[in-house]
Amino acid sequence: MVREWDPRTASSVEIASLLDTLNAVLATDLPQDPPWRESSLREYLSEVMPGERRISWVAQDEPAGDGTPGRILGQVQVLLLGGIGVLEVLVHPSMRRSGLGRTLVKLAARRIRDEGFGSIGVEVVGDTPAVAFYESLGFTRDYVETRSVLDLGAVGWPALAEMATGVGAGYHLEFCPGGPPDDLIEAYARAKAEVRDVDDGELRPSSYDPERLRDSLDTLHRRGMKPYIVLAIHEQSGEVAGLTEVVVPAQHPTRADQYDTIVVQDHRGYGIDRAIKARMLLELRSAEPELAEVQTWNAQANEAMLKVNAELGYRPDRDWCEYGVDVAELVHRLDAQH
């Protein structure tokens, strides 16, 4: 049976079952990725930024005779933000190629259309069945990034410590666990605003104004994702010259996610990118003893950043693509198929 499903009110048996399916999917499609844990999974699935909505459906076995909920073997969720519906679909490996993925997308696509949204976007991991799946539904590729992974066990820490101090005179670095301090929020937002649109995909929007930035940090915390930030401060002006953000999610705390790294145009060429990233890794090593890896996503054209990441020890892992489709076209295609 397929039904709309609300993670906020779902039983913990259902949350655990969804986790089993997610981990079966990871083991099949991304076997090097760490399995997810249940901690804050409900919050991860439920919490959204102000103004955004997430709607979800599951494919579930019938309940057992004693009333135990059936296993969740598939899920689709859509995040409605701006003018776009961002889709995520999961089908248990034992249930694939029987049309379930398509059924789930059909439900979500109709709702997205009914809610008045014109387009759908989805992140698709290279070298997985999702590529053929979305292409069969008429999605086209809008944007490709490379995911790279750093194994902290292979890092040369003395060299890294040197990189962390290799920032030009007139700058100092600040480590901010939890997020930027309140008195630097405005300067932080200004730094992010300056490089907006540069090589940014559409599906992971950054927050450029202070209010939105506060909301975004607050949402991360509510979802069980702990942000860490290293700032490069230009001493003369007090401006944020560079920043790097890493998030350690409670759901997979052995592998952290690198978010934005920005060096403001006027402050390029002073070793800031290398120094803030190196300092971050040094700090994380003591702040998050469980952490074993960090993953990052870069546009393939961003050669300067790829070079620094390679120096730090990041190894390219997979293509990470954004696909999109017009909602009306998708609904039309799915209605015609069945």
Q: What is the CA radius of gyration of the chain?
A: 21
Residue 262 Cβ, how far from ligand COA at the closest point, in Å?
27
Rank residues 56 and 261 by Cβ distance to ligand COA and give the closer one: 56
Shortest distance in whole angstroms from residue 132 CB to ligand COA:
3
For 2, 36, 166, 237, the CA distances from 249, given in Å and listed in that order, are 29, 10, 29, 34
Q: Which residues bind ligand COA (CB under 6 A)?
A: 25-26, 29-30, 89-91, 96-102, 125, 128-130, 132-133, 136
Closest approach of ligand COA to the CB of residue 92, in Å: 8
**Which residue number, 93 or 178, has a Cβ lying nearer to ligand COA?**
93
Which CB atom, from 122 or from 282, has the smaller least distance to ligand COA? 122
Residue with the shortest CB distance to ligand COA: 101
CB closer to ligand COA out of 72 and 262? 72
- In the complex, what is the shortest distance from the CB of residue 335 to ligand COA, in angstroms, rounded to a whole number? 15
Nearer to ligand COA, 58 or 282 (CB): 58
Cα distance between residue 195 and residue 207, in whole Å: 11
| 35 or 129: CB nearest ligand COA | 129
Contacts of 108 (CB under 8 A, 6+ apart): 55, 57, 76, 77, 78, 85, 87, 89
What are the angstrom distances between the C-alpha of 9 and each of 43, 182, 185?
Answer: 11, 34, 34
Query: Residues near 323 by Cβ (< 8 Å), separated by ≥ 6?
Result: 121, 122, 123, 124, 134, 135, 139, 140, 141, 142
**From the CB of 102, what's the least distance to ligand COA, in Å?**
3
Q: Is 255 helix (H, G, I), strand (E, B) or coil?
A: strand
Residue-level length of the chain: 338
Could you tell me the smallest distance in angstroms from the CB atom of residue 302 to ligand COA?
23
User: How far is 14 from 64, CA to CA, in rounded Å?
Assistant: 13
